[in-house]
Structure 1
């Protein structure tokens, strides 16, 4: 599949580019729409959005383009097809082609950004919203996101993951070490989409021990918060440092980012890791 170019928001004028954050939009959105919607949200200091707090960061929003969406019986913007909105595990075979294509796009963008940042993968952050987060998660668990080294962090917003049941079965095996769990997870996901494992077992285990933020609405009417708990347990089993937060009262029937509380938490999470946030008191 040929993807549209990503929407890119460059660092503030006069600032040197130090980090890149790559965020994938949800279904029925686009890269530019997601970026504009995200940047319209402020922290608890009014008029202070995410780029304000990280003036040296580049924001890259990949675009899924359009594909057939079975629930709607039409072409829509989506990373992969799904059979049912009510049961995301039904007919998961429909998700495979989009996942295979999507992780390759993420891999390409990450490799480009790591090169721009002098080969330092730890200055690249990956994440996404809803179906975009699903594709980003698969990029992690197959190793596609880590071909150039450990990423700096992962940000999951209203996240869910295809084949989560299979992932839980892997990481809940009581006789497996965290290294073996990470290796098996990568192998299972590679088998599902028909690719060879992309990184070694040791590299997989090391790369997946990255800081992870998962934020989800308890009243999300589209994607249950149970998905957040499921993901948190998977990350914990392989040794990742996971920060899980729940919110009430977000727009879009709870299936969105809660401002200002969640935006504050995202800034706090990224600041604790990278120490790059602009002083909240600065004007």
Structure 2
């Protein structure tokens, strides 16, 4: 299958002569770099607050949306339902694989520009489907498994974890106290709205009308039913001896068409999973009508408890499917200042979007 073309990213150079970090930010389904990038930069006054940061806003390629009667829209991959992203996982694989390759290319380019330690100075940020595609890319890691390429941070807003149920079943973390003891999960609750200005109202209403039409009685399988159809561990016994995090990451890497990992280590989270050293911030509106806050919680739990990642989870009371500058963006900047050593200037947001 030929690769889908990706438009040239929107690139915003640092205001300062010094370039310390790069943020690559992924829009939601149906949006684009100009719409998402210009809006978040202006509303949160990010250039002034982060003068040494280069911003890169890529645009997803146009893919036919199954739920929108095969209308071509900008989306990182084709997902059938936002109520249950586990539906029709077969539709997601090609797009996730292509998008992850594209994002890895952007990351590598920017890391080389930043120079020594460049990967640690790079932040991947995603909204809604951009969050989903971004975190899946992070978990997959790199084709060369010997290089320690953890990122400075991952920021996810209003997102979910693709194949979450499958990864949950592999990790079995609720029955694995060794994993639970190694997790770090800072949970806090506090809480505008679009796949954030992402899908037009006509597209969204069409999706909602279709998604409510007897999906449970339709021909589509639930995620648990799909697992036997798509499971890199279904044949062979040797993988069962690998630590559960390796099995989970290999599941992701198989989807992304990357080489499988192995290890001689017996520790719960082997040290060669460098990508799991990336600190993660996940924010979600408690009243999100498009992507349930429960999906954000599930993603956070898999990452923190199942994979022992450093995860900060925050739910924002009263907030929908968009971000809010005065608390969420402020929390994100504090997180980046602490975990990615990002220089943050004092300043007030332009608006509270």
Quickly name the TM-score band, shorter chain normalised. 0.7 to 0.9
Q: Residues 203 and 103 from structure 1, CA distance in 2 versus in 1: closer, same or farther, beyond 3 angstroms?
A: farther
In 2, Cα distance between the equivalents of 1:180 and 1:235? 15
8 Å Cα contact 1:3/1:65 also seen in 2? yes
8 Å Cα contact 1:142/1:197 also seen in 2? no
8 Å Cα contact 1:143/1:199 also seen in 2? no
Structure 1 residue 19 displacement after superposition: 0.4
Q: How many residues align?
A: 271
Query: Which residue of structure 2 aligns with residue 128 of structure 1?
Result: 126
* Cα deviation code 1:5-60 (max 9, x no counterpart): 11111100x42111011111100100111101212323xxxxxx122111000111
In 1, Cα distance between the equivalents of 2:48 and 2:296? 28
Q: Does 1:56 align with 2:52?
A: yes
8 Å Cα contact 1:114/1:148 also seen in 2? no
SS at match of 1:90: coil
In 1, Cα distance between the equivalents of 2:150 and 2:302? 18
Q: Residues 268 and 118 from structure 1, CA distance in 2 versus in 1: closer, same or farther, beyond 3 angstroms?
A: same
8 Å Cα contact 1:142/1:198 also seen in 2? no
Q: Does 1:96 align with 2:93?
A: yes
In 2, Cα distance between the equivalents of 1:37 and 1:157? 15
SS at match of 2:290: coil
The equivalent position to 2:140 in structure 1, one of 132, 142, 157, is: 142
After superposition, where does 1:33-182 map in structure 2 within 5 Å?
A: 33-42=35-44, 49-73=45-69, 74-120=71-117, 121-144=119-142, 149-173=149-173, 174=175, 180-182=243-245
8 Å Cα contact 2:21/2:342 also seen in 1? no
Structure 1 residue 208 displacement after superposition: 0.6
Q: Does 1:2 align with 2:5?
A: yes
Structure 1 residue 181 displacement after superposition: 3.5
Structure 1 residue runs of 5 or longer lacking an equivalent are: 43-48
After superposition, where does 1:237-256 map in structure 2 within 5 Å?
A: 237=305, 238-250=307-319, 254-256=320-322
Q: Does 1:187 align with 2:250?
A: yes
8 Å Cα contact 1:126/1:136 also seen in 2? yes
In 1, Cα distance between the equivalents of 2:84 and 2:342? 40
In 1, Cα distance between the equivalents of 2:84 and 2:308? 29
8 Å Cα contact 2:100/2:256 also seen in 1? no
Structure 1 residue 194 displacement after superposition: 4.0
TM-score by length of 1: 0.88
Query: Which residue of structure 1 aligns with residue 332 of structure 2?
Result: 266
In 2, Cα distance between the equivalents of 1:134 and 1:72? 19
In 1, Cα distance between the equivalents of 2:56 and 2:244? 31
In 2, Cα distance between the equivalents of 1:127 and 1:61? 10
SS at match of 1:208: helix
Greater Rg over alpha carbons, structure:
2
8 Å Cα contact 1:41/1:260 also seen in 2? no
Query: Which residue of structure 2 aligns with residue 45 of structure 1?
Result: none
8 Å Cα contact 2:48/2:347 also seen in 1? no
Structure with the larger RCO, 1 or 2 (CA within 8 Å, 6+ apart): 2
TM-score by length of 2: 0.71
* Greater Cα shift, 181-190 or 112-121: 181-190
**Root-mean-square deviation over aligned CA pairs:** 2.3
Structure 1 residue 202 displacement after superposition: 4.3
